[in-house]
Chains A and B, each alone.
Chain A
Amino acid sequence: MPRRIGKNFNNVIMIKISEMPMKDEKRGMNSQIDENALRYWNGKITRRQAISTTAKVAIAIGVGAAIAAAGIGAGVYYASRAPPTKPEEKKLAIYHWWTAGGEREAIDAVYKLFKEKYPGVEIIDNPAAGGGGAVMRAAVKAMLLAGQPPDTFQITYGPGMVQSWAEFLESIDDLWEGLPVPETMKKWAKVGGHYYVMPLNIHRDSNLWYNIKLVNEIGIDVPISTVDDFFKACEKAKSAGYIPFAFGTVGGQRFWLNYILEWFMMASPNGGPDYVNDFNYGRAHPATDPAVKDALKNMETLWKNYVNSDFGALTWDEAGKLLMADKAVFNYMGDWQKGHFTASGWKPDVDFGWQPAPGTEGASIVHGDSFGVCKGAPHPTYAKAWVKLLSTVEAQEAFCVIKGATPPRTDVPLDRFDPMQRRIAEYIRGHKIVVGGHGVVEAWLDKCGEILEEFVSSFNVDKTVAALDAAYREIYPKPLE
Chain B
Amino acid sequence: MTKYVNLQTFLFILPAIVLVGTFVYAFSIWNVFISLTDWRGLVTRIRFVGLENYLKLVSDPVAQKALINTFLLALTFIPLTMLIGLVVAILLDLELKGTSIFRTIFLLPLSFSFVVSATMWTWMFSPEQGTINSLLRLLHLNFLCQPWITSTEQSLWCILLVYVWQFSGYVTIIYYSGIRSIPKEHIEAAEIDGASTFDKYRYVVIPQLKGETVGVLTILLFYALRVFDLVYLLTGGGPALSSEVLATYMYRITFNQNLFAYGASIGTLIFVIALAIMVPFLILSRRR
Give CA–CA (A68, B6) in the complex, Å. 20
Query: Is A57 part of the contact surface with B, judged by Cβ < 8 Å?
Result: yes
Q: Smallest CB–CB gap between A141 and chain B, Å?
A: 6
- Does A215 interact with chain B (Cβ within 8 Å)? no
> Is B215 at the interface (CB under 8 A from chain A)?
no
A252 within 8 A of B: yes
Q: How far is the CB of A296 from chain B (nearest CB, A)?
A: 14
Question: Is B87 in contact with chain A by the CB < 8 A criterion?
Answer: no
Tell yes or no: A35 within 8 A of B by CB.
Answer: yes
In the complex, which residue of chain A has the Cβ closest to the Cβ of B151?
Answer: A312
Give residues of chain A (123-172) contacting chain B, Cβ–Cβ below 8 Å: 134, 137-138, 141, 144-145, 164-165, 167-168
How many residues does chain A have at the interface if contact means C-beta atoms less than 8 Å apart?
48
Report B-chain residues with C-beta under 8 Å of the C-beta of A53.
3
Q: Is A402 an interface residue (CB 8 A)?
A: no
> In the bound complex, how far is the Cα of B43 from the Cα of A168, in angstroms?
10
Say which residue of A61, A68, A308 sits within 8 Å of B10 (CB atoms): A61
Residues 28-61 of chain A, each 1 if its beta carbon lies under 8 Å from chain B, else 0? 0001100110000000000000000100110011
List the B side residues contacting A32 at CB < 8 Å: 3, 6-7
Q: Which residues of A contact B238 (CB under 8 A)?
A: 249-251, 254, 312, 453
Are A311 and B150 interface neighbours, CB within 8 A? yes
Q: How far is the CA of A442 from the CA of B259 in the complex (A)?
A: 11
Q: Chain B residues near A442: list those with CB within 8 A.
A: 256-258
Interface residues of A in 437-456 (CB under 8 A from B): 442-443, 445-447, 450, 453-456
Please tell me if B138 contacts chain A, counting CB pairs below 8 Å: no
Most buried by A among B41, B236, B256: B256
CB neighbours of B122 from chain A (8 A) = 250, 313
Q: Is B62 engaged at the interface, CB distance under 8 Å to the other chain?
A: yes
Pick the contact of B7 from A60, A134, A311 — CB < 8 Å?
A60
B42 beta carbon closer than 8 Å to chain A: yes
Report yes or no: A134 in contact with B255, Cβ–Cβ below 8 A.
Answer: yes
The answer to whether A458 touches B240, judged by C-beta atoms less than 8 angstroms apart, is yes
Contacts of A475 in B (CB 8 A): 257
Chain A contacts for B50, CB-based, 8 A: none
A-B contact count (CB 8 A): 109
With CB as the reference atom, state the residue of chain B lying closest to A446. B256
Q: Which A288-320 residues have a C-beta within 8 angstroms of B? A: 308-314
> With A57-B7, A250-B236 known to touch, is A9 a contact of B41 (CB < 8 Å)?
no
Cβ contact of B149, chosen from A252, A313, A453, cutoff 8 A: A313
Q: Given the known A-B contacts A251-B236, A313-B150, A446-B256, are A9 and B2 also in contact in the complex, defined by CB atoms under 8 Å?
A: yes
Which chain A residues lie closer than 8 Å to B128 at the CB level? 308-310, 313
Q: Which of A68, A165, A312 contacts B239 (CB 8 A)?
A: A312
Contact A138 B255 (CB under 8 A): yes
Contact B236 A134 (CB under 8 A): no
A442 and B238 alpha carbons, distance in the complex (Å): 19
- Which of A64, A252, A309 meets B236, CB within 8 Å? A252
A443 & B258 in contact (Cβ 8 Å cutoff): yes
- Complex interface: chain B residues within 8 A of A145 (CB): 42, 44
Complex Cα distance, B7 from A447, in Å, reads: 55
Most-contacted residue by chain B among A53, A312, A445 (CB, 10 A): A312
Inter-chain contact B259/A68, CB cutoff 8 Å: no
Q: What is the distance, in angstroms, from B110's C-beta to the closest C-beta of chain A? A: 24
Q: Which residues of B have CB within 8 Å of A144?
A: 42
Q: A447 contacts B257, CB within 8 Å?
A: yes
Tell yes or no: B274 within 8 A of A by CB: no
Q: Which B residues are in CB contact (< 8 Å) with A168?
A: 42
B28 at interface by CB-CB < 8 Å: no
A9 nearest CB neighbor, chain B only: B2
Contact string, B149-176, partner A, CB cutoff 8 A, digits 1/0? 1111000000000000000000000000
Number of residues from B at the complex interface, CB < 8 A = 39
| A344 contacts chain B at the CB level, 8 A cutoff | no
Are B259 and A310 neighbours in the complex by a CB distance under 8 Å?
no
A119 to B3, CA, bound (A): 64
Q: Does A457 count as interface, using CB distance less than 8 angstroms?
A: yes
Query: Residue on A with the closest CB to B232?
Result: A251
Q: Quick check: B2 and A35 within 8 Å, CB to CB?
A: yes
Residues of chain A contacted by B11 (CB below 8 angstroms): 60, 64
Q: Knowing A309-B150, A443-B259 touch, does A454 contact B252 (C-beta < 8 A)?
A: no
Interface string of B136-155 (1 = CB under 8 A from A): 00000000000111111000
Tell me, in angstroms, the Cα distance from A458 to B61 when the chains sit together. 15
- B227 part of interface (Cβ distance < 8 Å): no
- Minimum CB–CB distance from A147 to chain B (whole Å) comes to 11
Please name all residues of chain A whose beta carbon is closer than 8 Å to the beta carbon of B69 when the two chains form the complex: none
**How far is A167 from B43 in the complex, measured between Cα atoms in Å?**
9
Taking a contact as CB atoms under 8 Å apart, the answer to whether A164 and B42 are in contact is: yes
B105 to chain A, nearest CB (A): 27
Determine the chain A residues whose CB is within 8 A of the CB of B41 once the complex forms. 141
Residue of B nearest to A310 (CB): B127
Q: Which residues of B in the span 241-282 have a Cβ within 8 Å of any Cβ on A?
A: 241-242, 252, 255-259
Q: Are B42 and A453 in contact (CB under 8 A)?
A: no
B42 surroundings in chain A (CB, below 8 A): 141, 144-145, 164-165, 167-168
Shortest distance from the beta carbon of B31 to any chain A beta carbon, whole Å = 15
The smallest C-beta distance from A164 to any residue of chain B, in angstroms, reads: 6
Nearest A-chain residue to B43, judged by Cβ: A167
Shortest distance from the beta carbon of B34 to any chain A beta carbon, whole Å = 12
Which of B42, B122, B241 has its CB near the most chain A CB atoms (within 10 A)? B42
A17 CB, nearest partner CB in chain B, Å: 16
- Provide the residues of chain A in CB contact with B240, threshold 8 Å: 453-458
Min CB–CB distance B241 → chain A (angstroms)? 6
Are A457 and B152 in touch, CB under 8 angstroms? yes
Min Cβ gap A455→B in Å is 8
| Residue B116 is within 8 A (CB to CB) of chain A in the complex | no
Give the one of B3, B6, B18 with max A CB within 10 A.
B3
Q: Evaluate contact between A254 and B236: CB separation under 8 angstroms.
A: yes
* B 1-14 binary contact with A (CB < 8 Å = 1; else 0): 01100110011001
Whether A167 pairs with B235 at a CB distance below 8 angstroms is no
- Complexed CA–CA distance, A30 and B11 (Å): 19
Interface CB pairs A-B, < 8 A, 11: A68-B18, A145-B42, A164-B258, A251-B232, A252-B232, A312-B239, A446-B252, A446-B256, A450-B252, A453-B240, A457-B240
